[in-house]
């Protein structure tokens, strides 16, 4: 499959694919939070991520609530103002961060491992986690800033397409609504709602703690206990609703004064830990997941110059997250590009990859394995994923062998069972044609 | 720096340009100067190729980057975007490895690869498991001098570049405003050109333009190879000799840029574009570190560092003045940040970008930014603030070692702009040496109207059939 004269390249392809994986330690804090820890002494720093089952799928009748709660944690806590909280972190060179998506809400700390820096940073981190005050003025300001962020999406054809796609794919499921909420929902949220959300979900029994860095197990245990000691024990949040399969194809067009039309095509995909994960992941790598060598990239960009990006991916979530394929192209050729994209999808679901394509994908995925875990920030991300979604502790150790064991037949079978090309959502955002 | 880059490919679902308004915009360029204090080993091949190697044995991987000293600031009217278009065509094959081969081989070896073009450089990189470095060297050496540049591939690829321009700039009102701001602030400096090129230049660009550009700039004497990872420097040196040493040196090159003419007063522009939100850019002409090296009588060496500290005082986190006073405090800004790139090749801009909060106008936001500068001119920054910025710099110096790619990027940028990786070693100490008086001095010297360009995005209705109120007219949600 390679060009002439590539002898040395071929030789190296058969290098061993067994790589050292991080040694993950797992235990529970006294209050019942699951801890996932990797000791790494090369750099004098520590990364901590605390993840709660408190994402926007728990917004219920108040879309935007989970994200707003998450954003407001550091805007006033334990009697300290937002200025004081941020100074307390930044004077130490510590970095605080937070994030919320459909499934989870997380809070992060990166600090030097020197106890003179780490201990006070942790104390401040605890205030934010356990004792946020949700002051009224900060609440109103952050709600207004969220409304501005929602307005900003209206001027982005890509964002409009994404929101419309989720709405159509997930219908009445909470995944249908953006985490930021809407112009209608945000005014209905109060500080009481935020405080109640925090009280219910930011509890030890609903948390996972991921720690990577320059500390030993004993210190990590002490740190995790200390973080959760004053936290309510609480309990694991109840399961979120099931995602329903689509019953018919649906096309949504949105008129927007852009020069390109953004196209997204897809349907509900898979859960984290789904038994079909590996065949679908490896298969999609061939279809549109592998950057510059995928079928979609080749057919849409390399052969025809239609689009800067052309891709597909599964986003596994607590409930089946979306499968999506997309591109953006000059509006006068959008229909042609859409037809091509759909044809590629149909063909792939029908035929799967060739053996050569599958072999190449496996080489890319397994050969690139060391790149996935080459930094503390990568590793802490994997620990969070494993802990939050309950993936096996040997997820990284067995990753390559699971990829290697995937066959063309398994991919064909999984794609046929899991995707229905006759029931796709199609979203097109761009200037009205005709 | 973020906005000046254009990449060959975007990761699925990624939104590089959009991240601009959030806090990340600015920290990126603030951190960009924070440099690995490191044991870089330097080698020079006889054909002029420079090789910089930094051993980092934390993980069994290696990043290999080839930096060419060419980018949009090397271009001239009529051929803008040619450096970036050529970057795209670097994946379209040589006689030995036809179009598509490069990416297929890297992919089959588990590699990640991409390329990016900036104003001052064009760079290509692969991250690989460490034993596969020879693959990167073989392919990079081959395309350094032997690129085929077939006309039929160009015909398709220039359409991809035009789509990239539409996606990145034309359909993003803030990026579009930024592009016009650059072209207004700079009158003669080549920093006025967009990296991706003007649309009209892309329309008439030919494969001949690219062939000329390639034969002129792509040669060992104009390239630096940076390798960071789990390698042994001497072995990498031997490997580099094996693959790169036989390439002919190429001519000695200089680029003769027109200097920017002196600005004689404030410049103001308004950009009308379908959008929801107004957007403010205030750009002051300032020196970069390279300017201080080249013209020590005009620009003392501490000035760029003082500008760097100033960036930290105003925008280095949630406790910095912009967040504290303008986002919280007076609640005039919904988002605001600064970009200043210490490592530019030529005099550059200190850019404040912001979106007003509900109920506030662009004029009010501009005035609030000016109030912050007036305060800095009248009152020295506090010791506590200086200490905070310095603590962040010391910590970031450690944190950035978590990424081998980033370590390589710092070395590559410095080399590409004509500085040295050795400048990186001084960074933390130079920042620590900056005083409150020096911060005040750069505010007084550079943040003045005669150096200022103000650009405003004036939102036009997105849907022509519906009259939408401008954001400033809406009531607060209170």
What is the largest distance, in Å, between two alpha-carbon atoms of chain B? 71
Q: DSSP letter string over A303-359?
A: TT---S-EEEEE--BSS--EEEEEEEEEGGGHHHHHHHHHHHHHHHHHH---HHHHH
* Residue B55: active-site member: no
**pTM of the entire structure?**
0.92
- In whole angstroms, give the CA distance from residue A127 to residue A133: 10
Residue with tokens 């905070």: B388
d(CA B399, CA A212): 13
Q: Higher model confidence: residue B476 or residue A388?
A: A388
User: Does residue B216 carry a pLDDT above 60?
Assistant: yes
Tens-place pLDDT, residues A411-426: 999 999 999 999 999 9
- pLDDT tier, B9 (very low <50, low <70, confident <90, very high otherwise): low
Q: Which domains does chain A have, with CATH numbers?
A: 25-229 (3.30.830.10), 250-430 (3.30.830.10)
Task: Please tell me the total number of residues recorded for chain A in this structure.
Answer: 434
User: Is there a contact between A93 and B21 if contact means CB atoms under 8 Å apart?
Assistant: no
Could you say which of B210, B244, B278 is where a domain stops? B244
Residues of chain B contacting A15 with CB distance shorter than 8 Å:
129, 131-132
- Kindly state whether residues B115 and B218 are assigned to the same domain: yes
User: Mean pLDDT, to the nearest integer, of B434-442?
Assistant: 98
pLDDT at B253: 83
User: Mean of the pLDDT values across residues B360-365?
Assistant: 98
Asked if residue B282 has pLDDT above 90, the reply is yes
Contact B319 A87 (CB under 8 A): yes
Residue B33, pLDDT > 90, answer no
* List of chain A residues with pLDDT < 70: 1-18, 434
Residues B204 and B341 in one domain: no
Tokens standing for residue B311 = 């960036």
> Is B147 found in the same domain as B52?
yes
Residue B199 lies in a domain: yes
The answer to whether residue B359 is domain-embedded is yes
Average pLDDT over residues B411-425: 94
Does some domain include residue B255?
A: no
**Where in the sequence is the domain holding B92, given as residue range(s)?**
6-10+23-244
Q: Are B174 and B241 in contact (CB under 8 A)?
A: no
- Pick A86's closest partner by Cβ from B9, B97, B317: B317
The confidence score (pLDDT) of residue B250 equals 85
CATH number at residue B314: 3.30.830.10
Q: B166 and A328: CB-CB below 8 Å?
A: yes
CA distance A104 to chain B (A): 19
Please judge whether B464 and A290 are an interchain contact, meaning their C-beta atoms are less than 8 angstroms apart: no
- Judgement on whether residues B198 and B51 belong to the same structural domain of the protein: yes
**pLDDT of the residue at A422:** 93
Looking at residue A434, what is its pLDDT? 62
Nearest Cα neighbor of B168 from A224, A259, A64 is A259
Which chain B residues are Cβ-neighbours of A185 within 8 angstroms?
Answer: none
Q: Are residues B185 and B79 in the same domain?
A: yes
Q: Are residues B125 and B193 in the same domain?
A: yes
Are residues B193 and B292 both part of a single domain? no
The answer as to whether B89 is a domain residue is: yes
Domain count, chain B: 2
Give the model's pLDDT for residue B24: 27
Q: Report CB contact under 8 Å: A147, B477.
A: yes
pLDDT tens string B179-202: 999 999 999 999 999 999 999 999
**Segment B392-414, tens digit of pLDDT:** 999 999 999 999 999 999 999 99
Are both B273 and B154 inside the same structural domain?
no
Asked whether residue B17 is assigned to any structural domain, the reply reads no
What is the value of ipTM here, to two decimals?
0.93
Higher pLDDT, B115 or B471: B115
Greatest alpha-carbon span in chain A: 70
pLDDT at A364: 95
Q: What is the model's pLDDT at position B464?
A: 58
* Residue A321: Cβ-neighbour burial (10 angstroms; 0-12, 13-18, 19+): buried
Check if A94 contacts B (Cβ < 8 Å).
yes
Q: Do B330 and B293 share a domain, yes or no? A: yes
> Measured in whole angstroms, how far is the alpha carbon of residue B164 from the centre of its chain?
17
Q: If pLDDT is split at 50, 70 and 90, which confidence band does B104 have?
A: very high
Query: Pick the residue with more confidence: A186 or B15?
Result: A186
Residue B154 inside a domain? The answer is yes
Q: B273 and B237, same structural domain?
A: no
| Bridge partners, A46 (sequence order) | A111, A213
**Residue B251 lies inside a defined structural domain of this protein:** no
Mean pLDDT in residue range B109-128: 96
Identify which of B446, B439, B305 has the alpha carbon closest to the alpha carbon of residue B383. Answer: B439
On the question of pLDDT at B471 being above 90, the answer is no
Q: What is the pLDDT, as a whole number, of residue A2?
A: 31
Q: Which of B87, B140, B372, B415 is catalytic?
A: B87
B13 — pLDDT class (breaks 50, 70, 90): very low
pLDDT digits (tens, 9 = 90+) for B72-90: 999 999 999 999 999 999 9
Q: Which strand ranges, in their side-by-side order, compose the sheet holding B333-339? A: B267-274, B452-460, B279-286, B348-356, B333-339
| Contacts with A142 from chain B: Cβ below 8 Å | none
Let me know if residue B256 belongs to a domain: no
């Amino acid at each position: 499959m390679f060009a002439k004269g590539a002898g040395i390249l071929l030789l190296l392809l058969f290098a061993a694919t067994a790589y050292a994986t991080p040694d993950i330690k797992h235990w529970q804090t006294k209050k019942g939070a699951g801890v996932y820890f990797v000791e790494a002494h090369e750099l004098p720093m520590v990364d901590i991520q605390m993840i709660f089952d408190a994402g926007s799928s728990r917004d219920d009748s108040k879309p935007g609530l989970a994200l707003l709660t998450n954003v407001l944690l550091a805007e006033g806590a334990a009697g300290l103002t937002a200025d004081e909280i941020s100074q307390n972190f930044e004077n130490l060179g510590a970095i605080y961060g937070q994030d919320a998506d459909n499934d989870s809400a997380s809070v992060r700390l990166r600090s030097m491992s020197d106890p003179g820096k780490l201990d006070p940073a942790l104390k401040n981190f605890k205030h934010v986690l356990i004792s946020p005050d949700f002051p009224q003025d900060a609440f109103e300001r952050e709600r207004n800033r969220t409304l501005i962020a929602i307005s900003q999406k209206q001027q982005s054809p890509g964002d409009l397409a994404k929101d419309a796609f989720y709405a159509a794919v997930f219908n009445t499921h909470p995944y249908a609504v953006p985490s930021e909420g809407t112009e209608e929902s945000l005014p209905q949220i109060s500080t009481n709602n935020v405080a109640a959300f925090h009280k219910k979900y930011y509890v030890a029994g609903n948390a996972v703690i991921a720690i990577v860095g320059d500390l030993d197990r004993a210190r990590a245990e002490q740190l995790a206990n200390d973080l959760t000691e004053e936290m309510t024990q609480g309990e694991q949040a109840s399961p979120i609703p099931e995602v329903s399969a689509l019953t018919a194809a649906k096309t949504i067009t949105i008129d927007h004064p852009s020069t390109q039309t953004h196209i997204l095509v897809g349907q509900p995909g898979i859960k984290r830990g789904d038994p079909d994960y590996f065949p679908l992941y490896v298969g999609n790598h061939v279809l549109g997941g592998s950057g510059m060598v995928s079928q979609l990239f080749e057919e849409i960009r390399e052969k025809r110059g239609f689009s800067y990006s052309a891709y597909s991916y599964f986003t596994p979530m607590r409930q089946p997250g979306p499968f999506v394929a997309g591109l953006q192209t000059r509006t006068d050729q959008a229909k042609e590009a859409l037809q091509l994209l759909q044809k590629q999808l149909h063909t792939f679901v029908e035929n799967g990859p060739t053996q050569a394509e599958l072999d190449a994908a496996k080489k890319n995925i397994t050969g690139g394995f060391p790149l996935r875990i080459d930094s503390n920030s990568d590793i802490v991300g994997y620990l969070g994923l494993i802990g939050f979604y309950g993936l096996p502790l040997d997820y990284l150790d067995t990753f390559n062998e699971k990829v290697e064991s995937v066959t063309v037949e398994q991919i064909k079978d999984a794609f046929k069972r899991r995707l229905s090309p006759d029931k796709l959502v199609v979203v097109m955002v761009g200037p009205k044609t005709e | 720096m973020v906005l000046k880059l254009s990449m060959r490919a975007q990761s699925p679902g990624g939104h590089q340009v959009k991240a601009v308004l959030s806090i990340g915009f600015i920290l990126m360029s603030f951190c960009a100067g924070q440099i690995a204090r490191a044991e870089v080993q330097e080698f020079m091949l006889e054909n002029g190729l420079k090789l910089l190697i930094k051993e980092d044995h934390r993980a069994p991987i290696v990043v290999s980057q080839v930096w060419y000293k060419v980018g949009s600031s090397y271009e001239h009217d009529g051929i803008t975007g040619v450096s970036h278009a050529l970057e795209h065509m670097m994946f379209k094959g040589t006689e030995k490895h036809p179009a598509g081969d490069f990416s297929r081989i890297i992919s089959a070896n588990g590699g990640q690869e991409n390329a990016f073009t900036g104003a001052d450089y064009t760079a290509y990189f692969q991250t690989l498991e460490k034993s596969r470095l020879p693959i990167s060297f073989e392919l990079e050496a081959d395309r350094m001098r032997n690129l085929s540049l077939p006309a039929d591939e160009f015909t398709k690829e220039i359409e991809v570049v035009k789509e990239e321009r539409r996606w990145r700039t034309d359909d993003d009102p803030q990026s579009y405003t930024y592009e016009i701001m650059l072209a207004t602030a700079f009158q003669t400096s080549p920093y006025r050109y967009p990296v991706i090129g003007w649309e009209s230049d892309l329309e008439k660009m030919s494969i001949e333009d690219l062939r000329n550009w390639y034969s002129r700039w792509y040669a060992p004497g104009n390239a630096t190879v940076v390798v960071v990872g789990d390698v042994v420097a001497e072995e990498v040196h031997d490997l580099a000799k094996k693959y790169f040493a036989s390439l002919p040196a190429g001519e000695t090159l200089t680029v003769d840029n027109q200097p920017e003419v002196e600005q004689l007063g404030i410049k103001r522009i308004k950009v009308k574009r379908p959008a929801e939100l107004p957007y403010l850019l205030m750009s002051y002409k300032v020196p970069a570190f390279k300017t201080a090296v080249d013209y020590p009588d005009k620009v003392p060496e501490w000035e760029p560092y003082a500008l760097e500290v100033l960036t930290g005082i105003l925008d280095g986190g949630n406790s910095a003045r912009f967040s504290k006073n303008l986002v919280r405090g007076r609640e005039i800004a919904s988002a605001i940040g600064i970009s200043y790139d210490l490592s530019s090749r030529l005099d550059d801009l200190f850019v404040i970008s912001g979106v007003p909060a509900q109920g506030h106008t662009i004029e009010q936001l501009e005035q609030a930014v000016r109030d912050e500068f007036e305060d800095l001119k009248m009152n020295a920054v506090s010791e506590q603030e200086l200490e905070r910025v310095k603590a962040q710099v010391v910590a970031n110096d450690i944190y950035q070692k978590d990424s081998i790619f980033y370590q390589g990027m710092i070395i590559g940028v410095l080399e590409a702009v004509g500085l040295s990786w050795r400048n990186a070693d001084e960074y933390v100490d130079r920042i620590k040496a900056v005083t409150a008086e020096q911060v005040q001095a750069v505010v007084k010297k550079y943040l003045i109207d005669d150096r200022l360009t103000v650009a405003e995005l004036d939102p036009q209705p997105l849907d022509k059939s519906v009259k939408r109120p401008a954001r400033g007219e809406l009531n607060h949600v209170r």
